[in-house]
Chain A
Amino acid sequence: MSMNALDVENVSVSHNGILAVNKISFSVQEGDLLGIVGPNGAGKTTLFRAILGLQNYQGRIKLFGYEGNQYASILPMIGYVPQKVNFEPNFPATVYDVVAMGILSKKKLVKGAALIQSCGCCWNRIFVSSSKDSEKIEEALKIVGLESFKDRRISELSGGEQQRAFIAKALVKEPLLLILDEPVTGVDMEVQNKFYSVLRKINKENKITIVWSSHDLTAISDLANRVACMNRELFFHGEKEEFFANKDLLKTYSESAMQLHMHKHDM
């Protein structure tokens, strides 16, 4: 039986009295790839931060059915790639070092696994559980195509390569849910395409549930199976086909991206 990976019920977040997220409710099923679209300042990042326990909110958020006190113990099982990771530019960490930071301690893994098993959910691990940390790191680097970069300092990499390293860091912990906040904004097309193929692969082959915010409707139409539109409030949440059939929504959520999408389908 598949269960909900994420339940967001009536969640509101206000910054100094201004509502950044207003009574949003939606759920994500296991194995879903949900694309969230919305203009800049729509509250996507704020919503993600609330889900990740980095932001106070009103309402309820459940991860794999767990909330309240147990929420913190399931949180480490979530992989998160923010729009931009702010790190000290001189940080002497190689790509390998950065990915290694993502390794979960055995204690947390056992706790997480116990939680997952107790809620009856199927945990599709990427890697064999007995494999060593170094093998896991190599495997994650291979998924994002950065094997040959592992000894390079993270600060020497381009923005897109850095993002791929951070995805590897999120993957190495064998996440149950991956949250990606506009991960390829400002990255060139080639890297974007590479990234999208990584996304498809981990969703289809590794069965990792993904929640992903993006302005790129073409990519969302290619990859996601469900779409949510928000601008402080949730305006739409449903199947991808339903979203792309709704011309009004498409017009609202990205003029240029919509044209690109239509153009592609005309051909």
Chain B
Amino acid sequence: MNFDILSYGFMQRALLTGIVVAICCSIMGLFLVLKRYSLFGDALSHTAFGGIALGFFLNIYPIWTATVVCVATALGITKLRKSTKISGDAAIAVLFSAGLAMGVLLVSASHGFTIDLFSFLFGSILLTSIQDTLLILAISCGVIITLIVIRKPLIHFTFDEEQAKVHGIPIEKLNYLFVALAAVTVIATMRLVGILLISALIVLPNITSIMMGKGFKRTIIISISISVIAVIAGITTSYYFNLAPSGTIVMLMVAMFVGTLIAKRAGLFSTKTLTNESNLSTVH
């Protein structure tokens, strides 16, 4: 096996965007999972599909149209949920099908872009252009920085909305910002694993790290590590064995999740054991 993998420009771009997107998706994903918005990301990715198809249809750079459609739907559905009290899962079902229907409709109305569209559906990290790479990096870094800046109110808001409100956190504005960031994260992740697998990147590293029973900071660090390891290992493995990177990355995450589950069952993360040990150490 030769290790010339990093000498290729496309590989450098793939690894760089992959790692940054993985970090972005992990942090955003933790908040989505904890707010029980896991499927919201998935639904948004389906509207992104509609947006991509719209871009091809209108002959505009599809990531732009996808961003506009995705952010607008995220904000719109949040407003709709608030004013009409439609339940969360119903709203997600509406989003899901509307986005997909729009995409299918536009695809059938025009011809000749199915291969490109396919790459958005299943990811094409090895095919990202320099323009795509720069855009994805800018979006991901923007999301990461925003999340770092608003982390304190966001954690409070995710933990308990009412208490956060009494605490003086503008929860409505924060919620809109939060869903807009989720929409933008979906756009950034699209190229890496494809629209159909985005929710895996949002959910898997986080439910795995949450299982380990640590505090907030460590849970985020573990989640980021899982994502980054899966992305690096996934991209390199897929290169050497000629596999689809998106599927490889997600399957690696699934493997880590299952492994953690088994380890937890075997009592490796039993917090009680840890506490007993720490109590003993203080006694001694």
Contact = CB atoms under 8 A, between A and B. Distances in A.
Interface of A: 52-54, 72-73, 75-76, 78, 80, 82, 85-88, 90-94, 96-98, 101-105, 108, 151-153, 156, 169, 173
A72 B213 contact: no
B227 to A, nearest CB: 16
B168 A75 contact: yes
A97 B215 contact: yes
Contacts of A90: 34, 210
Contacts of B209: 92
Contact of A88 (B36, B217, B219): B36
Contacts of A85: 160, 163
A88 B30 CA distance: 12
A92 B210 contact: yes
B172 interface: no
Nearest to A170: B163
Given A54-B166, A75-B168, A76-B168, A92 B160 contact: no
A190 B217 CA distance: 33
B165 A101 contact: no
Given A92-B216, A101-B156, A156-B271, 15 more contacts: A54-B162, A54-B165, A80-B163, A80-B166, A87-B160, A88-B35, A93-B159, A93-B215, A101-B159, A103-B152, A104-B167, A153-B214, A153-B215, A156-B213, A173-B167
Given A92-B210, A92-B216, A92-B219, A87 B159 contact: yes
Interface in B163-188: 163, 165-168
B193 to A, nearest CB: 24
Given A90-B210, A94-B216, A97-B216, A108 B168 contact: yes
Interface in B199-216: 209-210, 213-216
> Interface size bucket, B side?
20 to 34
B275 interface: yes
Q: Which secondary structure dominates chain B's binding surface?
A: helix
A86 B214 CA distance: 20
Nearest to A90: B210
Contacts of B218: 92
Contacts of A108: 168
Given A90-B34, A90-B210, A151 B165 contact: no
- Greatest chain B CB density within 10 A among A101, A103, A156, A169 is at A101
Contacts of B165: 53-54
Nearest to B211: A90
B263 interface: no
A88 B168 contact: no
B145 to A, nearest CB: 19
Q: Classify the secondary structure of A's interface with B.
A: loop
A85 B219 CA distance: 22
A54 B210 CA distance: 31
A87 B162 CA distance: 11
Interface in B129-159: 152, 155-156, 158-159
Contacts of A153: 213-215, 271
Interface in B63-118: none
Contact of A91 (B34, B167, B217): B34
A96 B215 contact: yes
A94 B217 CA distance: 10
Among B35, B36, B160, B219: residue with most chain A CB under 10 A = B160
Contacts of A53: 165-166
Contacts of B168: 72-73, 75-76, 104, 108
Nearest to B157: A101
Given A75-B168, A152-B275, A94 B215 contact: yes
B166 A88 contact: no
A101 B36 CA distance: 20
Contacts of B215: 92-94, 96-97, 151, 153
A76 B166 CA distance: 6
Nearest to A74: B168
Contacts of B159: 87-88, 91, 93, 98, 101
Nearest to B207: A90
Contacts of A98: 159
- Nearest 6 A/B pairs, CB to CB: A76-B168, A94-B215, A92-B219, A101-B156, A97-B216, A52-B166
A91 B152 CA distance: 15
Contact of B271 (A73, A82, A105, A152): A152
A160 to B, nearest CB: 17
B166 A92 contact: no
A178 to B, nearest CB: 12
Contacts of A91: 34, 158-159
Contacts of B216: 92-94, 97
B210 to A, nearest CB: 5
Contacts of A151: 215
Nearest to A86: B160
Given A88-B34, A91-B34, A92-B216, A75 B156 contact: no
Contacts of A88: 34-36, 158-159
Contacts of A96: 215
